[in-house]
């Protein structure tokens, strides 16, 4: 009996469902092109329909057990619906409606970080992966950032960051070091001065005892104990002085010359002669040419001198009463 009631109930349900579908209006089909729609309300309705389809498919693609092929098909369908939604959003803006594209969701990686890459897979502009499709082989690598290779610093980079503070030259600029070490420094300085005065007093007494002849062994030990540093310092100064004198003597022997050196005037004269020869060689010719000119000039002058003397003698002989003749007669006598 219960079985028949269940059947009747099942038949009744089917009948009610069929009647409800008959009363409905014929199902409208979404236009293939968004530009065919002329009504803003209709365009908004089709956009809402696409959003519901996208939500249903995104919920379905979260299941990793669907298989690789089904996941890839669902991801392609979702991207197709997203492109269609963008067409309807542009059409809504053209019809005077709100701009939904400003508040569209961004593509994220597996950790939820926004991926600012319009085309990570090369399958067209704005292709996205959803749900389990992000974990498919070949897709995970698109969202993984390559490991950053830490560049090894060179010695130049290391020394470039080193300044005076590294060597402690600026430790006392803030005054903290002076406040901390000031009392200790004053205490150590006072102790050193007190010790120096004590040693000086003991040394003075020891010297007096040495001069007077009353030398106590303890005082003598203290005297020499205090003078050890001075003796060592004096020996060191003597050694340095001897080494310096030896170096000076060696230097003097090294620079001894066996020829007389010219003085400043001689050097100036030599420089002047050299400049003269350079000018003569520049405008006249070589040194041999200059010497030849000098020789020819001297020979010509000598010939003119002999000719002049011979002419004067001849004139004096021919004219004894002239001035030259009287001079010649006097010279002859």
The last residue of a domain, from among 118, 143, 168: 143
134 shares a domain with 83 = yes
Q: Which residues pair with 108 in a beta bridge?
A: 114
Residue 159 maps to a domain: no
Contacts of 164 (CB under 8 A, 6+ apart): 170
Give the predicted TM-score (pTM) of the model: 0.37
The last residue of a domain, from among 93, 119, 143: 143
Residue 275 maps to a domain: yes
- Whether 24 and 15 have beta carbons less than 8 Å apart is answered as no
134 shares a domain with 37 = yes
pLDDT in tens, the chain (333 residues): 456 666 656 777 778 877 887 777 767 788 888 888 888 888 888 888 889 998 899 899 988 888 888 999 999 999 999 888 888 888 888 888 888 877 766 655 555 555 544 444 444 456 788 888 888 888 877 777 777 777 888 888 888 888 888 887 877 778 788 888 888 899 999 999 999 998 888 888 877 776 676 555 444 445 555 556 666 777 788 888 888 777 777 655 555 555 667 778 888 888 888 888 888 777 665 555 555 666 666 676 666 666 555 555 555 444 544 444 454 445 455
109 shares a domain with 43 = yes
191 shares a domain with 128 = no
What's the angle, vertex CA 30, arms to CA 29 and CA 34, rounded to 5? Answer: 150
b vs e for 33-62, b when ≥16 Cβ sit within 10 Å of the residue's Cβ? Answer: ebeebeeeeebbebbeebeebbeebeebbe
CATH no. for residue 108? 1.10.287.660
217 shares a domain with 128 = no
Contacts of 71 (CB under 8 A, 6+ apart): 61, 64, 131, 132, 133, 136
286 shares a domain with 250 = no
- Whether 47 and 100 have beta carbons less than 8 Å apart is answered as yes
Structural tokens at position 192: 């050193």
Residue 74 maps to a domain: yes
The range of the structural domain enclosing residue 276 comes to: 271-332
Report pLDDT for 177.
Answer: 81
Residue 5 maps to a domain: no
Helical H segments across 68-112, by residue range: 68-94
Report pLDDT for 214.
Answer: 59
248 shares a domain with 275 = no
Domain count, the chain: 3
136 shares a domain with 41 = yes
138 shares a domain with 39 = yes
Report pLDDT for 122.
Answer: 47
Structural tokens at position 257: 């010359």
> 3-class secondary structure for the chain?
CHHHHHHHHHHHHHHHHHHHHHHCCCCCCCCCCHHHCCCHHHHHHHHHHHHHHHHHHHHHHCCHHHCHHHHHHHHHHHHHHHHHHHHHHHHHHHCCCCCHHHHCCCCECCCCCECCCCCCCCCCCCCCCCHHHHHCCCCHHHHCCCCCCCCCCCHHHHHHCCCCCCCCCCCCCCCHHHHHHHHHHHHHHHHHHHHHHHHHHHHHHHHHHHHHCCCCHHHHHHHHHHHHHHHHHHHHHHHHHHHHHHHHHHHHHHCCCCCCCCCHHHHHHHHHHHHHHHHHHHHCCCHHHHHHHHHHHHHHHHHHHHHHHHHHHHHHHHCCCCHHHHHHHHHHC
Residue 286 maps to a domain: yes
Residue 196 maps to a domain: yes
195 shares a domain with 135 = no
Q: Which residues pair with 114 in a beta bridge?
A: 108
The last residue of a domain, from among 96, 120, 143: 143
55 shares a domain with 109 = yes
Residue 175 maps to a domain: no
Residue 207 maps to a domain: yes
Structural tokens at position 187: 């205490």
307 shares a domain with 247 = no
């Amino acid at each position: 009996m219960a079985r028949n009631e269940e059947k009747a109930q099942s038949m009744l349900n089917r009948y009610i469902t069929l009647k409800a579908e008959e009363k409905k209006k014929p199902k409208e089909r979404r236009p293939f092109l968004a530009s065919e729609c002329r009504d803003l309300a209709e365009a908004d309705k089709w956009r809402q329909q696409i959003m519901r389809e996208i939500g249903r498919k995104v919920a379905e693609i979260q299941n990793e057990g669907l298989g690789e092929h089904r996941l890839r098909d669902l991801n392609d369908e979702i991207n197709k619906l997203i492109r269609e939604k963008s067409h309807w959003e542009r059409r809504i803006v053209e019809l005077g409606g709100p701009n939904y594209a400003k508040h569209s969701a961004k593509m994220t990686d597996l950790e939820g970080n926004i991926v600012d890459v319009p085309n990570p897979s090369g399958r067209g502009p704005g292709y996205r992966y959803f749900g389990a499709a992000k974990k498919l082989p070949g897709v995970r690598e698109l969202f993984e950032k390559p490991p950053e290779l830490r560049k090894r610093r060179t010695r130049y980079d290391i020394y470039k960051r080193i300044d005076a503070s590294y060597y402690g030259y600026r430790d006392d600029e803030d005054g903290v070091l002076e406040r901390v070490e000031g009392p200790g420094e004053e205490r150590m300085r006072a102790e050193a001065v007190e010790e120096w005065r004590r040693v000086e007093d003991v040394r003075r007494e020891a010297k007096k005892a040495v001069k007077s002849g009353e030398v106590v062994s303890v005082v003598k030990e203290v005297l020499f104990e205090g003078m050890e540093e001075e003796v060592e310092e004096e020996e060191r100064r003597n050694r340095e002085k001897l080494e310096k004198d030896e170096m000076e003597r060696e230097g003097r022997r090294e620079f001894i010359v066996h020829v007389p050196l010219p003085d400043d005037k001689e050097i100036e004269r030599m420089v002047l002669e050299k400049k003269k020869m350079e000018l003569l060689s520049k405008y006249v010719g070589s040194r041999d040419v200059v010497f030849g000119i000098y020789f020819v000039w001297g020979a010509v002058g000598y010939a003119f001198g002999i000719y002049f003397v011979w002419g004067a003698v001849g004139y004096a002989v021919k004219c004894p009463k002239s001035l030259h003749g009287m001079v010649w007669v006097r010279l002859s006598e």
